[in-house]
Amino acid sequence: MNPRKLLVFDLDGTLAETAGDLIGTLNFILARENIAPVDLSQARFMLGAGAKALIERGFAAQKVPLAPARLQQLFGDFLAHYEAHIADESFLFPGVVEALDRFEAAGWDFAVCTNKIEAPARKLLGALGVAGRFRAIVGQDTFAIPKPDPRVLEQTIAMAGGTPARSIMVGDSRTDIDTARRLGIPCVAVDFGYTDVHVSELGPDRVISHFDELWDSVTSLAAETAP
C-alpha cells in the first residue's frame, strides 16, 4: 500500500501572515537597545530564515554591530516576547482552511517544515486553530537542521508518514524552493510571502496568488510526477 500523499507547508509568509508580530518583536528588541525601529513594509524581506537571522538583519539594517554572544542573549529575549504576542496580529491567509479541507477530503496529509523554532510554531498554529491538521510540525531546532538543508524536509516527510515521491512542498521563498529542489520534490510557491524578488524568478514548479489556486497546481504536479 502506497503512503498517503503529503503537502509540506512553510509557515511564515505561506500559511500565515506573521510579519506584524515578528517585526513588532524585532522593534521591541531594537527599542530596548536604543536602536531605531525598522519599517514593517520594508522589513518583510528580512523574514524567513528564523529569529536569529531576523535580529541580525535588523541590526544590520540600522548599521549597528552585533556580537555573537549578544545575539544569543537577544535571541532568548526575542522568543520570550514573541511567544507572549504570538498571534496579536497574525492570521491565516485567505483560503487556507478551505484548501486543507479539500485536500484532506481527497486523501492528502499535511506537515509543516519551518525555520521557526518548533515551540512557537506549534503555539502559533494552535492559536490560529489549525495545529491539529498537521501530522508533523518541524522547526529548525527539531532535528537541529534548518532549511535549505534537504535533510530537514526529508525527516519532516518521514515523521508525517510520507515519502518524498508522494510529497509536494508549498513555500514562499528561495529557501523553500531550494530545499525542495535539493530533495528532488516539486514546489508550489505563493507570491504573497516574504522574499525580496518575485518567487517566479526563483524556479518553483508552480506559482499561486491565492490558496484557491492550490488545488489545480498540486493535482497537476502530482499527475506529472506520479511514480
Q: Position of cell 506584524?
A: 20
- Cell numbers for 83, please give them: 511567544
Q: What is the 3-state secondary structure (H, E, C) of 174-205?
A: HHHHHHHHHHCCCEEEECCCCCCCCHHHHCCC
E-only strand ranges, 120-183:
136-138, 167-171
- Name 190's bridge partners: 208
Would you give the DSSP letter of residue 165?
Answer: G
77 is catalytic: no
* Sign of the dihedral defined by the CA atoms of residues 193, 196, 198, 201, in that order: negative
Q: Pick the catalytic residue: 10, 12, 21, 109?
A: 10
**DSSP 3-state helix, strand, coil percentages of the chain (rounded to 5)?**
50, 15, 35
**Which residues are catalytic, by number?**
10
